Amino acid sequence: MKLASVTALAVLLAATAAQATCTYDIDSRVQVRHERLREFERSLAARMGVSVNDIDAPVSPLAGVKWRIQGRSRVGLVWGTWLTWDEGYTDSQGRFDYVDPDKSCIRRQVRIQVAFENDRQRVAAPAGWPMLLGAVLVGSAASAPSPWYDVFLAEVGSTNLTFDDPIVFRAPAANDMPIPPTLGEPLSRTRAEIWVLVSRLRSAMASLGAEYAFDPTPLIVVYPTDIREISNAEEQSFADPIHPNNPVYIHRNADGTRDQGNVKTVLHELMHVWAYQNTHGEDAMLLELVMSRDTHACKDETLAPFHEAFAEYASQQVFEMLFPGLPVDSEFSSPARPLSRRTLTSGVDCLGDRVMDDEHDLEHCENGWMSIFHTLTMGAPLFEYGDPVGGGVTALGDSLCREATKRLAIPAMSCGVSFADLLSVFLGANAVDKGDDLRAADLTLQEFLARAVDLDVLSAAQMRDTKDLLDPEGSLEAEDTSLCEWKLNLGLPNFSL
């Protein structure tokens, strides 16, 4: 083409644009309807005092997700390359907007995409499956991309474009207008709900105090994960103890018959992350995972039982904060209360075969540490739980697993040891200095409580009495101590034991 023709063409295009421009005005918000993680709906129904059948699944904004608006036009007979016109992050209500009053009025396609990603959290798709190679985890989630989802697609001609409907990840209904397939696809909907769960967990932890907030960021959840080298029967979700971000891998097998994309698993794994970020020496957890394919129950070392118990205990604590109205003790398979001495020393089903009859046993077993944490922070006196006391000593299984130590739970409330106080034992005297964090050598009952005393979470007398109360073979009951002056604070109910 000669130079003169190019100039003429440029002038012609400019003239056309000046004569006819179209306005594109997009003002939308991105949301998810909680149809997969049912705790959102059940908690709402419980707070309203109605059945879940009487309410619609609640809708949450997808706050802080990445969005971009792209367009493309025809080049000859085919569509050209997508060009990004604008991008950003949704606000706290999931809102974003884009206005251009000066678009050329040509036929083109416009799409909106979102990705569950910002600098604080990411819900990723697996970038190739992670693999276990010997004891090494191969396949880093740090590079696992959060996929772009097409959430809006339109073809426009010489007209304005106005779009102000909400964009909702949800199950398509029978009489629906067609929606982009990714909005209705189960895995993307679960990822969207996990996004909300991670956001709320981060807020809940930060609400306890800035020092308890998750760091470093982003928090990464990879869903679904299916490691080829591990059989489906054995595979579990896990949090990587080695990677600086401690990415969480949530297991789902290929045909979806085993799917751990649920609230309790995600919270459990994320609380592992919190512990890994605030302790030293947790790398050995990976070896435990690889060698025994299991980090639960009782172990020779205290590391795995401590971390497993903390993750479960802490996930119960945050579950209570995030889903008010749902009774945490019956929601979880592990009891959310101290175990009775009778349970500890009988080695019943819930504890595996292990009989815990001294302090040493407690700290080597997941249920032992669970009982320690719950004893320290029990939020309500035991009698409020309405445990039938007495019952035959032959009672086994779940009822005995859920039998709290009879009067043990009473002092905690007036001791005033809160969940945050317990977390402060991890951080040490200087919450900012990582060198102060809990070490593997501190993971015994003696050292953990001694650290709590150093930090003024407990007095020396309270530490002594707490240890006596926890002793599976001891006989001290809360009412026999002046541990927390509980009689003064609570008044003594008339209950017979």
Binding-site ranges for Zn ion (CB under 5 A): 308, 311
Contact 226, 256 (CB under 8 A): no
Which residue's CB is nearer to Zn ion, number 171 or number 230? 230
Q: How far is the CB of 258 from Zn ion (least distance, A)?
A: 17
Q: How far is the CB of 420 from Zn ion (least distance, A)?
A: 22
Q: Following DSSP, what letter does each residue of 348-381 receive, concatenated?
A: -GGGTT----SHHHHHHBHHHHHHHHHHHH--S-
By C-alpha distance, which of 389, 475, 459, 446 is closest to 417?
A: 459
Q: How far is the CB of 174 from Zn ion (least distance, A)?
A: 40
The token pair at 490 is 């609570």
Which residue's CB is nearer to Zn ion, number 249 or number 323? 249
By C-alpha distance, which of 437, 175, 423 is closest to 310?
A: 423
Q: Which residues pair with 166 in a beta bridge?
A: 29
Which residue's CB is nearer to Zn ion, number 173 or number 233? 233
Which residue's CB is nearer to Zn ion, number 282 or number 359? 282
By C-alpha distance, which of 323, 311, 371, 315 is closest to 344?
A: 371
Q: How far is the CB of 307 from Zn ion (least distance, A)?
A: 7
The token pair at 456 is 């003024």
Q: What is the DSSP code (8-state) at residue 74?
A: E
> What stretch of H or E contains 131?
strand 131-133
Helix H, strand E, coil C: the string for 404-425 is CCCCCCHHHHHHCCCHHHHHHH
The token pair at 196 is 């909300």
Which residue's CB is nearer to Zn ion, number 169 or number 310? 310
Which residue's CB is nearer to Zn ion, number 208 or number 250? 250
Q: How far is the CB of 306 from Zn ion (least distance, A)?
A: 11
Which residue's CB is nearer to Zn ion, number 308 or number 403? 308
By C-alpha distance, which of 248, 289, 294, 303 is closest to 270?
A: 248
Q: How far is the CB of 140 from Zn ion (least distance, A)?
A: 20
Q: Which residues pair with 104 in a beta bridge?
A: 21
Q: Which residues pair with 296 in a beta bridge?
A: none
Which residue's CB is nearer to Zn ion, number 308 or number 320? 308
Cα(149)–Cα(251) distance, rounded to whole angstroms?
A: 22
Residue 216: cis peptide before it, omega within 30 degrees of 0: yes
Which residue's CB is nearer to Zn ion, number 311 or number 400? 311
Which residue's CB is nearer to Zn ion, number 308 or number 465? 308
Cα(467)–Cα(442) distance, rounded to whole angstroms?
A: 16
Q: How far is the CB of 268 from Zn ion (least distance, A)?
A: 6
Q: How far is the CB of 448 from Zn ion (least distance, A)?
A: 19
Q: How far is the CB of 304 from Zn ion (least distance, A)?
A: 9
Q: How far is the CB of 29 from Zn ion (least distance, A)?
A: 35
Task: Tell me which amino acid residue 479 is.
Answer: E
What residue is closest to Zn ion based on CB? 311
By C-alpha distance, which of 391, 385, 432, 437 is closest to 407?
A: 385
Q: How far is the CB of 186 from Zn ion (least distance, A)?
A: 25
Cα(457)–Cα(460) distance, rounded to whole angstroms?
A: 10
Cα(269)–Cα(285) distance, rounded to whole angstroms?
A: 13
Q: Collapse the DSSP code of 79 into the 3-class scheme (helix H, G, I; strand E, B; otherwise coil) and give the result.
A: strand
Contact 305, 364 (CB under 8 A): yes
Which residue's CB is nearer to Zn ion, number 39 or number 308? 308
Which residue's CB is nearer to Zn ion, number 24 or number 276? 276
Alpha carbons within 13 A on the beta-carbon side of 268 = 19
The token pair at 172 is 């398509």
Q: Which residues pair with 150 in a beta bridge?
A: 113
Which residue's CB is nearer to Zn ion, number 35 or number 308? 308
Cα(220)–Cα(127) distance, rounded to whole angstroms?
A: 13
By C-alpha distance, which of 237, 309, 320 is closest to 275?
A: 309
Q: How far is the CB of 195 from Zn ion (least distance, A)?
A: 22
Altogether, the residues listed in the chain come to a count of 497
Q: How far is the CB of 55 from Zn ion (least distance, A)?
A: 33
